[in-house]
Amino acid sequence: MREIFSFLAEYIDKNRITLAAITGGGGKTSLLYGLGRELAASRRVLLTTTTKIFRPTPGECRDLFVGPAKHCLSFLEAMPPASLLTAASGEGGGKLLGYTPEETERLAGSGVAAVIAECDGSRGRPLKFYETWEPPMPQGCGCLFAVAGVGALGERADEERIFRADKFRTLHNIAEGAKVAAADYMSYLSHPEGPLKNAPRGAKKILLLNQWEICGEDSRTSLMEIIPALLKSYDAAACVSMRRNILYDYRER
């Protein structure tokens, strides 16, 4: 087994990606900071959001900039060649407020730093329903990491496991009180209103099935059986644990 953050950092380097986006369910913020730390060993890296995120802890990212995007560039240029910065346009409601997708693209296009943007919110739930305005996606991103927590498999399709569960059940034809099956994951992950919503046509699309460490053998088997069909929509799929930084399995189209 490999470390997932170093594996994805190598993927970004190999494909010369300067702007990556993260969408989906629980695990996005762990991916944002874990991947950022790996990349920052050899380059400037900017971490930001097009939605809202909590302030990073010192262990996640030491340096923070809060202000307009145009001033962020000057701040970045003064940082060492190998460094990590979290940036946001402002603060409100106890969270950092992100930049627009267009501002995020301009930051990446400057060439000053590689940019990773968290473009989604799920309140930590493994799965979610997307409202019309979600996710705010930079259309110039070269890679999209779509995260889905597998902890909901075999559990009730309720608010404890799904953000906006009632709308999610309606969209995917799940009865109230029913449990989430592998077929429901297939419906969610491949649906036009799922994690690939607003994804740029030319971006690499990587599915990350998170929380693999808590999956029982039957659940793992069920999920592995749907991966070949999911690879019609994704360039690759990986079974991972963000919490443990482990890559368990990786399949490409």
109-133 tens-digit pLDDT: 999 999 999 998 888 888 898 999 9
Using alpha carbons, list the distances in angstroms from residue 8 to 104, 173, 242: 21, 34, 12
Number of domains in the chain: 1
Structure tokens at 245: 């930084």
Q: Is the peptide bond before 200 cis (omega within 30 degrees of 0)?
A: no
Q: Which domain holds residue 31?
A: 4-252
26: pLDDT strictly greater than 90:
no
Using CA atoms, how far apart are residues 153 and 126, in angstroms rounded to an integer? 9
Please report which confidence band the pLDDT of residue 169 belongs to, taking 50, 70 and 90 as the band edges.
Answer: very high
CATH code of residue 32? 3.40.50
Using alpha carbons, list the distances in angstroms from residue 121 to 136, 177, 244: 10, 24, 21
Mean pLDDT of 159-166: 92
Using CA atoms, how far apart are residues 234 and 229, in angstroms rounded to an integer? 9
- Do 21 and 117 contact (CB within 8 A), yes or no? yes
Which letter does DSSP use for residue 152 in this model? G
- pTM to 2 decimal places: 0.94
Three-state DSSP state, 23: strand
Mean pLDDT of 160-179: 92
